[in-house]
């Protein structure tokens, strides 16, 4: 049977096309984010069966009902986070490791949190050799207190509610970006933690993957 997996030059061409058609046209305008996404091999962080389509403008099905965000969504979240080279970043929802690999080129240190054992195994293999990424295992909705406080928190997926326990792990002045979901509609949101509190503000409608464990508690009704 003929091998249908594209060769290296094909992946490079697809990556350039992704940058031109999905990032530069959708307000992914932080040059460092664009440059990082232009060099990180997305195909390395998805199942082999999906490598031929991994640069399409669509979510990718991973293990156990989880999905990888489309490139535009991840690019917008990272752009709004305004990451600099001295930042320590908490990534919530590491999945197969792709966003952590992009963040590794932008920040001083990345703590990549994942709760799914199969995804952790995949991410561990894919991220091997990237020294400034620490892959940690635990409930996504708890964050990772041990390495806090963080300069930036990126939630690479949509949540109904962002727990106070996660916000508490951010430094004053820290930026937090996340997807939000409200009655089935997903958006991208941004906020800055201040001494006076924290709030999220939507900045784009987008088809963002929904992360498990962040449902809004339902009030009891008779």
- As given in the structure block, the two tokens for residue 177 are 């970006």
Cβ neighbours of residue 60 closer than 8 Å, sequence gap 6 or more: 46, 50, 53, 54, 67, 68
What pLDDT is stored for residue 8 in this prediction?
Answer: 74
* CATH number, domain 11-205: 3.40.50.150
| pLDDT score of 4 | 59
Q: What angle do CA 18, 19, 24 make, to 5 degrees?
A: 125
In the Cβ-directed half-sphere of 136, how many Cα atoms lie within 13 Å?
19
Tens-digit pLDDT profile for residues 83-93:
999 999 999 99
pLDDT band at 2 (very low <50, low <70, confident <90, very high): very low
Closest by alpha carbon to 96, among 72, 112, 77, 73? Answer: 112
Q: What is the pLDDT of residue 205?
A: 95
Percent of the chain with pLDDT over 70: 95
Name the token pair of 66. Answer: 């989880």
pTM listed for this prediction: 0.93
Q: 3-51, pLDDT tens digit by residue?
A: 456 777 899 999 999 999 999 999 999 999 999 999 999 999 999 999 9
pLDDT, tens digit, for every residue of 105-122?
Answer: 999 999 999 999 999 999
């Amino acid at each position: 049977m003929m091998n249908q997996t594209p060769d290296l030059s094909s992946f490079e061409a697809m990556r350039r096309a992704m940058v031109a058609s999905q990032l530069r046209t959708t307000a992914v305008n932080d040059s460092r984010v664009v440059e990082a996404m232009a060099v990180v091999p997305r195909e390395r962080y998805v199942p082999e069966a999906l490598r031929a389509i991994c640069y399409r403008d669509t979510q990718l099905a991973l293990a156990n009902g989880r999905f990888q965000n489309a490139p535009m969504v991840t690019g917008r979240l990272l752009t709004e986070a305004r990451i600099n080279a001295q930042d320590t970043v908490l990534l919530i929802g590491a999945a197969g490791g792709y966003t952590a690999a992009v963040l590794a080129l932008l920040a001083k240190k990345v703590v990549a949190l994942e709760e799914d054992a199969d995804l952790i195994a995949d991410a561990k293999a894919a991220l091997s050799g990237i020294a400034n990424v620490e892959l940690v295992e635990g409930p996504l909705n708890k964050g990772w207190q041990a390495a806090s406080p963080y300069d930036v928190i990126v939630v690479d997926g949509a949540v109904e509610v962002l727990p106070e326990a996660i916000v508490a792990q951010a430094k004053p002045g820290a930026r937090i970006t996340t997807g939000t979901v409200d009655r089935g509609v997903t958006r991208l949101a941004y906020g800055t933690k201040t001494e006076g509190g924290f709030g999220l503000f939507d900045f784009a409608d987008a088809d963002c993957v929904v992360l498990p464990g962040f449902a809004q508690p339902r009030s009891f009704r008779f």
